[in-house]
């Protein structure tokens, strides 16, 4: 991942916080009011000691012997991750993947809202996909700047990913989730994460018998 680390907190710790938040929300949905590092560890297959150590980076969240208040810990982790507010997200690429991403409802109650869907194809621009009318790529910079959008998802072919990423950065985007199967270069101050299902499949097949 490119970009500066968050203060002195190890990046691997930041990466585990969304897992804790997801487990806590499931507990909340089950009407649980209190949990423990032991229970969270069993759910996530992470040691309870590791969970306690991770959370200690951000202050005291519970008392020994009494566990964690689920609602309170959710609120604290949302604040740490800055998802106690709504972030607007631009999706670039209105193909099958981009269309599916833009219509996925799981973002809305997790701090994110897809704001716009962009594409370069004349056959797609102006078409309605779910709640969105596909916007032309040449309107990207104006739209992002005028609406203060800071996050983008990139769902374009690999050969176009770098040039589109350059446009996003120039427009003021500070975080990119890249679905294109290629690494792209961004300035240090821009956060980037990669999602490539093929690489994850290849990791798993290593452990399978021929």
For the chain, the average pLDDT equals: 91
CATH of residue 96: 3.40.50.720
Quick one: pLDDT at residue 161?
Answer: 96
Domain shared by 60 and 113, yes or no: no
Beta-strand pair 62-63/67-69: antiparallel
pLDDT of residue 64: 64
Cα–Cα distance measured from residue 103 to residue 101, given in angstroms and rounded to the nearest whole number: 5
Q: How many Cβ atoms sit within 10 Å of the Cβ of residue 129?
A: 17
Q: Which of 61, 81, 101 is the last residue of a domain?
A: 81
Q: Are residues 177 and 97 in the same domain?
A: yes
Structure tokens at 164: 């589109």
In a domain, 201, yes or no: no
Q: Is the confidence at residue 3, as pLDDT, over 70?
A: no
Residue 67 parent element (H or E): strand 67-69
Residue 1 scores a pLDDT above 90: no
Question: Domain range spanning residue 106?
Answer: 87-196
Output the pLDDT for position 21. Answer: 96
Q: Which tokens sit at 150?
A: 């800071």
d(CA 84, CA 105): 18
Average pLDDT over residues 90-113: 92
- Asked whether residue 3 is domain-assigned, the answer is no
Domain membership of residue 62 (yes or no) is yes
pLDDT tens digits, one per residue of 85-94? 999 999 999 9
Non-local CB neighbours of 91 within 8 Å, separated by 6+ positions: 98, 101, 102, 114, 116, 117, 118, 152, 153, 155
Burial of 94 (0-12, 13-18, 19+ CB in 10 A): buried
Q: Domain tally for the chain?
A: 2
pLDDT tens sequence across 27-54: 999 999 999 999 999 999 999 999 999 9
């Amino acid at each position: 991942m490119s970009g500066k680390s968050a203060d002195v907190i190890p990046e691997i710790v930041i990466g585990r916080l969304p897992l804790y938040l997801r487990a806590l929300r499931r507990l909340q949905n089950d009407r649980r009011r209190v949990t423990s590092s032991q229970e969270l560890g069993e759910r996530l297959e992470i040691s309870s000691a590791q969970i306690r150590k991770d959370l200690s980076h951000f202050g005291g969240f519970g008392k020994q012997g009494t566990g964690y208040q689920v609602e309170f810990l959710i609120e604290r982790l949302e604040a740490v991750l800055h998802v106690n507010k709504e972030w607007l997200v631009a999706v670039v690429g209105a193909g099958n993947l981009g269309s599916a991403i833009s219509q996925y409802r799981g973002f809305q109650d997790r701090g994110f809202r897809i704001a716009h869907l962009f594409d370069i194809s004349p056959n797609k621009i102006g078409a309605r996909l779910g709640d969105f009318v596909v916007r032309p790529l040449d309107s990207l910079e104006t739209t992002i700047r005028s609406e203060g959008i800071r996050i983008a998802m990139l769902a374009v072919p690999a050969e176009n990913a770098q040039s589109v990423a350059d446009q996003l950065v120039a427009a003021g985007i500070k975080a990119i989730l890249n679905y294109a199967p290629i690494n792209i270069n961004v300035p240090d101050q821009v956060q980037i994460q990669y999602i490539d299902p093929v690489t994850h499949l290849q990791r798993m097949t290593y452990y399978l018998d021929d």
